[in-house]
């Protein structure tokens, strides 16, 4: 079966996406529109060019640059409505969306008003058959106090759909122990814990995210491929790795972890993780910046060697790893299995 056959099948499955940054989903046309709204003239082609960064620091710069056009609640509402329409068009029925809450705080924006606009967009998306929950993320390079402030806001907005606290940004900027108090605060407020780790950092960063921060899901975690004992542990503990192949290629993370010659997707450890029984949630990370979508990532998984039943098992894992109450999780799983058996996949 070719990758495009797989894409056609996956398009017909109800899907969940768990590692998806709102601010990485801004289409070049929309970024140009936002820039104009705030008095800057940029063409979509220029935005697309900025999105094609040569390495990880370049990617962080592009992210910072595009978020500078997000200034008020209606800007956030616009990008959320567009993202949700694209997700619904792919039959994504459940999404956990990460918001760079610490970026809003650092820019002295009205986080409560921005989030109210986002929560309304999530409400509107229900009519498209999409359920959304939120993860508040702090950028590691902003330091421990900003992490605390972001965790406080996450706790405050938990009743409106924030389900987890996480850390992203420059993985090498701050030791995990410095973030521990923020994670403790979030946990005490009933929030779940996720963390980017082992994307550009070493296997040890994944261990620390689990042991020190209590992360139950790891963003990327591709460095685990360098450490068989860690892979074994992730499999036996049931820790989910949120795997975003195109992102790893485009940010240079793959080349950084596995050597310069691996500037090709074929070196991605997704299949090896899958074969070893690790839990994996396939995602896009920043779909507009990396010119991808969830169905395209499944087609890549097929290119990396997963056959159709394995692709279906992979897609099912995202529902297992969703931060949902158990009955909701089971009801999505039942719906998913019904569809896969109709399609003769499982
Ligand atoms: Zn990410």
Q: What's the pLDDT tens digit per position in 140-175?
A: 999 999 999 999 999 999 999 999 999 999 999 999
Please give the pLDDT value at position 263: 66
The one-character DSSP state at 121 is H
- Residue ranges of domains in the chain: 3-342
Q: Tell me whether residue 46 is one of the annotated catalytic residues.
A: no
Burial of 315 (0-12, 13-18, 19+ CB in 10 A): buried
Tokens 């209606």 appear where? Answer: 74
DSSP designation for 285: B
Give the relative orientation of helices 73-89 and 28-37 as an angle to the nearest 10 degrees. Answer: 170
CA of 342 relative to ligand 1 center, distance in Å: 33
Q: Which DSSP state fits 127?
A: G
Q: Could you tell me where the beta strands, DSSP code E, fall in the chain?
A: 15-21, 92-99, 131-139, 162-168, 192-197, 217-220, 240-243, 279-282
Q: Which of 107, 98, 82 is nearest to 135 (CA)?
A: 98
Q: What is the pLDDT of residue 16?
A: 98
- 19 Cα–ligand 1 center, Å: 6
- pLDDT tens string 209-261: 999 999 999 999 999 999 999 999 999 999 999 999 999 999 999 999 998 66
* Region for residue 219 given its phi and psi (left: phi exceeds 0; alpha: psi -120 to 50; beta: otherwise): beta
Sign for the pseudo-dihedral over CA of 321, 327, 333, 335: negative
Q: What is the pLDDT of residue 154?
A: 98
- State how far the alpha carbon of 76 is from the alpha carbons of 26, 199, 321, in Å: 10, 27, 27
The Cβ-side half-sphere exposure at 302, using a 13 Å CA radius, reads 22
Q: Which of 90, 118, 92, 114 is CA-nearest to residue 103?
A: 114
Q: CA 247 to CA 199: how far, in whole Å?
A: 10
Dist. CA 96 → ligand 1 center (Å): 12
For residue 344 the two structure tokens come to 């003769």
pLDDT at 60 over 80: yes
Q: Is the pLDDT of residue 262 over 80?
A: no
Closest CA to 50 of 72, 36, 33, 31: 31
Mean pLDDT of all residues in 124-131: 97
Are 282 and 246 in contact by the 8 Å Cβ rule? The answer is no
Interval between CA 344 and ligand 1 midpoint (Å): 33
Query: What is the 8-class DSSP label of residue 215?
Result: -
Beta strand 15-21 with 162-168 is unpaired
The pLDDT value recorded for residue 216 is 97
Interval 305-315: pLDDT, tens: 999 999 999 99
Q: Per-residue pLDDT averaged across 200-216, rounded? A: 97
C-alpha closest to that of 196 among 134, 261, 139, 235: 139
Q: How far is the CA of 168 from the centre of ligand 1 (A)?
A: 6
Q: Are 253 and 229 in contact (CB under 8 A)?
A: no
* Per-residue pLDDT, 54: 79
CATH architecture of 3-342: Alpha-Beta Barrel (3.20)
Which residue of the set 17, 96, 149, 199 is catalytic?
199
Question: What pLDDT was estimated at residue 103?
Answer: 96
Q: Could you give the dihedral angle defined by the CA atoms of residues 324, 328, 330 and 335, in that order, rounded to the nearest 10 degrees? A: -120
Sign of the four-CA dihedral 255, 261, 262, 265 = positive
How many alpha carbons fall within 13 Å on the CB side of residue 199?
Answer: 28
């Amino acid at each position: 079966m070719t990758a495009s056959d797989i894409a056609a099948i996956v398009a017909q499955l109800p899907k969940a996406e768990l590692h998806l940054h709102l601010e990485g989903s801004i289409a070049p046309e929309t970024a140009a529109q936002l820039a104009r709204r705030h008095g800057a003239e940029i063409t979509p082609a220029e935005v697309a060019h900025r999105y094609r960064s040569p390495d990880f620091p370049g990617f962080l710069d592009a992210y910072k640059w595009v978020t500078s056009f997000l200034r008020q609640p209606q800007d956030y509402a616009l990008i959320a409505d567009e993202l949700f329409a694209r997700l619904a068009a792919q039959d994504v029925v459940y999404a956990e969306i990460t918001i760079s809450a610490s970026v809003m705080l650092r820019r002295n924006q009205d986080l409560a008003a921005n989030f109210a606009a986002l929560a309304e967009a999530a409400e509107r998306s229900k009519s498209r058959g999409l359920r959304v929950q939120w993860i508040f993320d702090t950028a590691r390079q902003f330091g421990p106090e900003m992490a605390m402030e972001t965790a406080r806001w996450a706790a405050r907005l938990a009743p409106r759909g924030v389900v987890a606290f996480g850390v992203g940004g420059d993985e090498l900027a701050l030791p995990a122990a410095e973030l521990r108090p923020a994670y403790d605060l979030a946990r005490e407020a009933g929030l779940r814990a996720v963390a980017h780790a082992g994307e550009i950092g070493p296997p040890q960063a994944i261990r620390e995210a689990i042991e020190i921060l209590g992360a139950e899901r790891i963003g990327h975690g591709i460095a685990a491929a360098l450490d068989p004992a860690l892979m074994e542990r992730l499999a036996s503990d049931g820790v989910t790795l949120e795997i975003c192949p195109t992102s790893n290629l485009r940010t240079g993370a793959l080349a950084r972890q596995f050597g310069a010659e691996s500037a090709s997707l074929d070196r991605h450890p997704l299949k090896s993780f899958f074969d070893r029984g690790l839990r994996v949630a396939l995602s896009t990370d920043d779909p507009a910046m990396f010119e991808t979508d969830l169905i395209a990532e499944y087609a890549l998984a097929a290119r990396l060697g997963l056959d159709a039943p394995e692709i279906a098992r992979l897609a099912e894992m995202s529902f297992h790893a969703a931060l949902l109450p158990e009955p909701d999780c089971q009801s999505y799983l039942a719906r998913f299995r019904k569809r896969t058996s109709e399609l003769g996949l499982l």
